[in-house]
């Protein structure tokens, strides 16, 4: 049996998204956030045509901090009987200086699947937070704990096997969020091919941590990834 040509990693991603509260098509008295435009300016993440009726990135706000094992086991069990495929990861949302523990869900086919999925998690012992007063929405900083399946196209440069048009490249040191934002703005301002979305994170590898940047662009290829990589590395001091 030939070994897989792909690399599996566990790690984190940190990015900012504009979030809004879902009021309908969720379980009563629960709190669910949505990122209606997770990649600002790009409308073809799932399709070649804009989609208005499909949930893109959904954040199920849970009652307490659950361990990665608890979320992973619950998700693994649900995937055996849920009616369609989906992707889930544990995370934390910081919205107006309030911290919410979440399960980030992608690839649902319809909003009606959200309460069904919530019920499945409840059956697996996960409790959900009640919606706070008002209608929380606005820019949120999100940290996701996730597993990656990667195709290394160049030393330190990877394509995501499960998420189309996502590329990663390693960087020599950790950047705080403000420094990363400042560098990203400089790259976009000084480069004519600046139509991309960026997030920062790390992989766990060889008993250590490798810092990296994730780039999304619907025309992702190795040349583009290497070009944007050079723009960042030239500015990381």
Q: Which of 92, 88, 93 is nearest to 72 (CA)?
A: 88
Which positions ≥6 away from 234 have C-beta within 8 Å? Answer: none
pLDDT of residue 4 exceeding 80, the answer is no
Angle between helices 222-233 and 177-189 (to 10 degrees): 120
Element (H, E) at 75: helix 68-78
Model confidence pLDDT, tens digit, residues 42-57: 545 444 444 456 788 9
User: What pLDDT is attached to residue 47?
Assistant: 46
- Please report, for the chain, the start and end positions of each structural domain, with discontinuous segments joined by +: 9-140, 150-233
Mean pLDDT computed over 119-142:
91
SS3 state at 68:
helix
CATH number for the segment(s) 150-233:
3.30.1360
Model confidence pLDDT, tens digit, residues 92-104: 999 988 999 999 9
Q: Rounded CA gap, 212 and 31, in Å?
A: 31
């Amino acid at each position: 049996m030939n070994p897989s040509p792909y690399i599996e990693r566990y790690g984190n991603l940190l990015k900012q998204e504009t979030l809004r509260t879902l009021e309908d098509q969720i379980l009563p008295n629960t709190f669910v956030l949505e990122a209606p435009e997770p990649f600002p300016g790009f409308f073809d993440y799932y399709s070649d045509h804009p989609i208005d009726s499909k949930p893109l990135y959904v954040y199920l706000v849970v009652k307490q901090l659950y361990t990665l094992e608890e979320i992973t086991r619950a998700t693994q069990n649900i995937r055996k009987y849920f009616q369609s495929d989906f992707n889930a990861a544990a995370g934390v949302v910081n919205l107006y200086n309030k911290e919410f523990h979440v399960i980030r869900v992608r690839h649902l086919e319809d909003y009606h699947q959200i309460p069904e999925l919530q019920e499945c998690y409840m059956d697996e012992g996960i409790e959900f937070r009640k919606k706070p007063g008002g209608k929380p929405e606005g820019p949120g900083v999100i940290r996701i704990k996730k597993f990656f399946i990667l195709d290394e196209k160049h030393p330190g440069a990877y394509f995501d096997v499960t998420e189309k048009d996502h590329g990663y490249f390693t960087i020599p040191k950790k950047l705080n969020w403000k420094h990363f934002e400042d560098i990203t703005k400089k790259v976009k301002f000084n480069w004519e091919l600046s139509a991309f979305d960026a997030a920062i994170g790390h992989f766990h590898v060889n008993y250590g941590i490798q810092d990296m940047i994730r780039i999304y662009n619907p025309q992702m290829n190795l040349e583009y990834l290497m070009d944007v990589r050079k723009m960042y590395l030239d500015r990381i001091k």
